[in-house]
Amino acid sequence: MSLVHKSATALLSEMQSGSVSSTEVCTAFLDQIDAHDEKIGAFLRVDRESVLAKAADVDSRRSAGGALGLLAGLPVAVKDLLCTKGQPTTCASKMLEEFVPTYDATVIEKLDSADAIVIGKTNMDEFAMGGSTENSALGQTKNPWDTSRVPGGSSGGAAACVAAKMAPLSLGSDTGGSIRQPASFCGVTGLKPTYGRVSRYGLVAFASSLDQIGPLASSVEDTALLLQAIAGSDERDATCAPNEVPEYTATVAKPLEGLKLGIVKEHFAEGLDSEVGDCVTAAIDVYKALGASVVDIELPHSKYGIATYYIIAPSEASGNLARYDGAHYGYRTSDTSPVEGEGPLVTMYRRSRSEALGPEVKRRIMLGTYALSAGYYDAYYVKALKVRRLIRQDYDAAFEKVDFLVGPVSPTAAFGIGELSDDPLSMYLGDLYTVTTNLAGVAGLSVPCGFTKSGLPVGLQLQARPFDEERLLRAGHMYQSATDWHTKTPTV
């Protein structure tokens, strides 16, 4: 088996035993990127020289017998909204195309202290707004299973690079499904941790009460490995929980006994593609065969999930994106010609934002600004907050009865490039099964569970109580021990 087809866990133990070096591992993935990324477009930037310099450093420290971190020598791809000191962090926006952060995000520091090597920055929907990576201002990422289709989004590059074996591990972010849905579309494993599990210091904010960073990988075991390295409290992020970090890697292979699963009834209703439904139903049968008991669960307020999410997320975005004014950092218009009846400062703001932000980002800013405006604030924003509370209560009630909720990640498999890009509402409706996880602040895992007849991957979603990642990963691993969907790879 070639190096790029091995799991992160296997590569790690081979590097530990000395049978392969980090330089060889990194070279294999860099060569894979060179060979295939022109077609896939997962990466916005790869710096071969600095990757190899870091790999050589890990190798020499290893041969000197020095202590090394948890991920020593492993390449990790990083979504381009995580600040990397001295390296551009674009959010796939013209606004930040030239932005070079002066500091590292906490997760990047953690990768560094684990001796992992950032192999490159991956493409995404602009400012993480979207579900297809078509909103990137810097290029279209393609689905490695079918390059006429989207990889999902917003972490499309993060999922596609793992699927195409251009990185063994990658970091994405999930505000309403952006790790789980691309993982599902690309046939890889993705985890949205509980809100507060992973520090967001240095994550460029989209919707601060929903955003969470998480891992994508080829298996649950590898997902556990990356979560282990990035989870934990951070005094620089007040929303990051002080809860102790369990030993995910040590426990992931331990099966759970007496597993109780709840089938989310609302996720098997109208709108679900029948082939996706069949794959997910077959996956639930696998759990039954493994001894799980399965009951129907209702999340009665989930029907308001999309409406609630598409008020709260844009409202928070309209605030978060106000900082891109052309004055502090980011793009500034070069057009200084005066406009009659408008002050020069307002003209500069208006032009900078109009020229540098894409249509979807503008749509969200307008939606959010409207929902927050005097006269509509109570009717939209406050109402949405109340419904959000009811959604969380649905989850609390469900988790009194069952350990995990199961269902599809997305109503369909990957759609064609351009198929939905002129129809934002249909695009938004695709987020039906994922947004409530974020609204409730619980954890959600996506694992590959089959293929459609046309050969597109389908994902199974497992949702868990807050901070129950340890058991969630074990449940996912149980499934992957009994099936081989996650081992399938596309021919790129």
The reply to whether 317 sits near ligand GLN by the rule CB under 6 A is no
- Specify the residue, 48 or 363, whose C-beta has the smaller distance to ligand GLN: 363
* Nearest CA among 67, 68, 74, 66 for reference residue 21: 74
Asked if 37 touches ligand GLN (CB under 6 A), the answer is no
Least separation in angstroms between CB 444 and ligand GLN = 11
* Interaction of residue 131 with ligand GLN, rule CB under 6 A: yes
Known catalytic residue: 421? no
φ, ψ at 234 (rounded to 5°):
-155, 120
- The residue (of 176 and 190) whose beta carbon lies closer to ligand GLN is 176
DSSP 87: B
Residue 87: beta bridge partners?
A: 84
Q: Are 182 and 175 in contact (CB under 8 A)?
A: no
Whether 54 sits among the annotated catalytic residues: the reply is: no
DSSP state of 256: P
| DSSP letter string, 33-68 | HHHHHHHH--EEE--HHHHHHHHHHHHHHHHTT---
Binding piece for ligand GLN, criterion CB under 6 A, among 94-102, 126-134, 162-170, 269-277 = 126-134
Cβ-closest position to ligand GLN = 178
Interaction between residue 313 and ligand GLN (CB under 6 A) = yes
Q: Are 456 and 279 in contact (CB under 8 A)?
A: no
Task: Reply yes or no on whether 426 is catalytic.
Answer: no
- Give the separation between CA 240 and CA 179, rounded to whole angstroms: 19
Selected catalytic residue, list 7, 21, 136, 154: 154
The nearer residue to ligand GLN, 207 or 230, going by C-beta atoms, is 207
Residue span 170-209 as binding mask against ligand GLN, x where in contact by CB under 6 A, dash where not: ----xxxxx---------------------------x---
Comparison of 55 and 188: residue with beta carbon closer to ligand GLN? 188
Q: Quick check: 130 binds ligand GLN (CB under 6 A)?
A: yes
User: Which two three-digit tokens encode residue 273?
Assistant: 């593609």
Distance in Å, CB of 175 to ligand GLN, minimum: 4
* Position among 146, 431, 469, 470 found at the interface with ligand GLN (CB under 6 A): 431
Strand order in the sheet with 75-79: 43-45, 117-122, 75-79, 169-174, 212-217, 189-192, 443-451, 457-464, 404-408, 260-264, 293-297
Give the residue with the Cβ less far from ligand GLN, 25 or 443: 443
How far is 490 from 492, CA to CA, in rounded Å? 6
Q: Is the Cβ–Cβ distance between 355 and 331 less than 8 Å? A: yes
- Residues contacting 230, CB < 8 A, separation 6+: 107, 110, 111, 171, 198, 199, 213, 215
Give me the sign of the Cα torsion angle 169, 106, 240, 67: positive
If binding is defined by CB under 6 A, does position 150 make contact with ligand GLN?
no
Q: State the number of binding residues for ligand GLN (CB under 6 A).
A: 13
CB 222 within 8 A of CB 241: no
461 binds ligand GLN (CB under 6 A): no
Binding mask 255-294 for ligand GLN (x = CB under 6 A): ----------------------------------------
Q: How far is the CB of 90 from ligand GLN (least distance, A)?
A: 16
What are the catalytic residues? 79, 154, 178
Which residues are near ligand GLN by CB under 6 A?
128-131, 154, 174-178, 206, 313, 431
